[in-house]
Structure 1
Amino acid sequence: MPSERGSDKIAYGKHPDQYGVLALPDGKPLGLVVLIHGGFWTDSYGADLMEPIAADLRTRGYATWNLEYRRVGGDGGYPATLEDVAQGIDHVRHIDVDAPVTVIGHSAGGHLGVWAASRSERTPGGKPAVLAETTISLSGVLDLGSAAADGLGNGAVAAFLGSADPDEQQLADPIQLVPAHGSVVAVHARDDRTVPLSQSRSYVDADLAAGGAAGLVQVPGDHFALIDPSSAAWAKVLTQLG
């Protein structure tokens, strides 16, 4: 497949929601950042949620690959959503950017990003063709069991998992797949009322106990401050980039 350059919407699959928006900075990129939006896996939200931080990253010299994927309410849910994220990240190998890869996911996108860092031949999408050096979760849903028990997103976990059996549910849950590949940084907003800090803390504890290299960083602000390029929270996120 030929390499792709420019700032374009590029399909990585045949479904209308299987695409990413690739944008390049002026000059040689410092890195390629894969962005994965949240919204509790539903089609009420889309990749435009991440465009403000994508634009900010480009001004700082980073290329961005902002992923869309099939979601609950459309044709998504388990396993389609996970397969799309796997395929979308693997598509990076067809992008002509010679730079380290970082994945940044927000909320449910944090779940998807950290899940992708734990892929294997057993998980949806299979063994990864591309692995990020660093995965940054922004108030991610990293423990599906406790998220379901706590009723996060008004039953969003159950809607995402659908009819998946217990073994399949484990293959979708980052905390059940530790340790992750590479470095995982769980950044969490102190005043987050959407996804509690316990989601990040429990994951980091589990990953470290399994021999991983996860870290927890607490930042000021609420759930959406993490994707606001004018916020102090986003300024702290930037310090985690290589």
Structure 2
Amino acid sequence: MKKWQKRLLWFVGVLVTLILVGLFYIKTITYTPTTAALEASQEATDENGILFFKGDQEKPALIFYQGALVENTSYSIWAEKVADAGFSVYLVKQPLNLAVLGQNKAEKIIQSNHLTNYVIGGHSLGGVMASRFAVENKSHDGLKGVFFLASYPDEKGSLANFKGPVLSLTGSEDGVLNWQAYDQSKKYLPKQTVFHEIKGGNHAGFGSYGEQKGDKPAQINNDKQQEEIADQLIDWLKTIK
């Protein structure tokens, strides 16, 4: 074997090893759903990793992008409640649980299910990427609204000229959200944006996956925060014509 071939094999071997180590590390730091979230997810249909909670086809469907390194199943509790109120929910499964790797994942859901009436949003990083998708597809007749859970749009996802309804939910005890960036991002939101703060809620409480690094302790239990998230989403969805 020639010297360059040996070097190439060595390089490939090192690269593969680094990738495997990286994947293992990501797996170890990924937040997994609580037992309650797993139980709620049993009400959904698993469509290649996408959890579909069926509601009324005549009402707006909700497409959701998970927070960074949080399994989508972790959002099943409020998703089930929203679906019970008649609004279908799609909890998207992102590559490596990172929405930044799957900004356009919603497109396949929209096309395969022939959605003509939907809203899109996400938690934390998921909300950022959902807003970017919304901007690129704002001319789509089916897009009716955008929502953020402990999240906000950046310049690439600016909704300043968006005509549809927008909802922004935050928790008063959120220790992960960059509050300065959140305040600055309001220039990228339209004047009709509805803001609501969940008193006592924290960042991890927008899902159900236990404590999150850097977060503050919630002053309400997860059941309470899940209920309020669902109530706020349902009330907002009811305003969409």
TM-score range, shorter chain: 0.5 to 0.7
Tell me: CA distance 1:52–1:77, structure 2 relative to 1, closer, same or farther (3 Å).
closer
- 8 Å CA contact retained: 2:120, 2:146: yes
Matching residue of 1:230: 224
Tell me: CA distance 1:66–1:137, structure 2 relative to 1, closer, same or farther (3 Å).
same
Could you tell me which of 149, 154, 170 is aligned with 1:138?
Answer: 149
Matching residue of 1:107: 124
Tell me: CA distance 1:62–1:86, structure 2 relative to 1, closer, same or farther (3 Å).
same
1: CA distance, partners of 2:57 / 2:152: 34
Matching residue of 2:157: 174
2: CA distance, partners of 1:198 / 1:217: 17
- 8 Å CA contact retained: 2:153, 2:188: no
> Once the 2 structures are TM-superposed, how far is the Cα of residue 92 of structure 1 from its aligned partner?
1.5
Matching residue of 2:86: 61
| Secondary structure of the structure 1 residue equivalent to 2:189 | helix
The one-letter code matched in structure 2 to 1:140 is S
Matching residue of 1:166: none
How well do the aligned residues superpose, as a CA RMSD in angstroms? Answer: 3.2
Identical pairs, percent: 11
Matching residue of 1:157: none
2: CA distance, partners of 1:241 / 1:229: 21
**Displaced runs of 4 or more, over 6 A:** none
Map 1:35-50 → 2, pairs under 5 A: 35-39=64-68, 44-50=69-75
> Once the 2 structures are TM-superposed, how far is the Cα of residue 128 of structure 1 from its aligned partner?
7.3
Deviations 1:163-187 (A, max 9, x none): xxxxxxx6xx435x74446332222
Deviations 1:108-166 (A, max 9, x none): 1111222222126xxxxxx87675211110111534xxxxxxxxxxxxxxxxxxxxxxx
Matching residue of 2:193: 214
Deviations 1:20-63 (A, max 9, x none): 222313x6553211121102xxxx42211221122111221121
Could you tell me which of 39, 44, 47 is aligned with 1:10?
Answer: 47
1: CA distance, partners of 2:171 / 2:233: 11
Map 1:113-132 → 2, pairs under 5 A: 113-119=130-136, 132=143
Deviations 1:60-90 (A, max 9, x none): 1121111011247xxx686xx2xx3314245
> Once the 2 structures are TM-superposed, how far is the Cα of residue 195 of structure 1 from its aligned partner?
0.2
Matching residue of 2:51: 21
Tell me: CA distance 1:70–1:129, structure 2 relative to 1, closer, same or farther (3 Å).
farther
Map 1:61-100 → 2, pairs under 5 A: 61-71=86-96, 81=101, 84-95=102-113, 100=117
The one-letter code matched in structure 1 to 2:193 is A
Unaligned runs of 5+ in 1: 1-5, 12-18, 121-126, 144-169
> Once the 2 structures are TM-superposed, how far is the Cα of residue 7 of structure 1 from its aligned partner?
4.9
Matching residue of 1:33: 62
Matching residue of 1:183: 165
1: CA distance, partners of 2:135 / 2:86: 28
Tell me: CA distance 1:70–1:87, structure 2 relative to 1, closer, same or farther (3 Å).
same
2: CA distance, partners of 1:89 / 1:65: 12
> Once the 2 structures are TM-superposed, how far is the Cα of residue 96 of structure 1 from its aligned partner?
5.3
| Secondary structure of the structure 1 residue equivalent to 2:146 | strand
- 8 Å CA contact retained: 1:117, 1:180: no
Map 1:150-165 → 2, pairs under 5 A: none
**Structure with the larger helix share:** 2
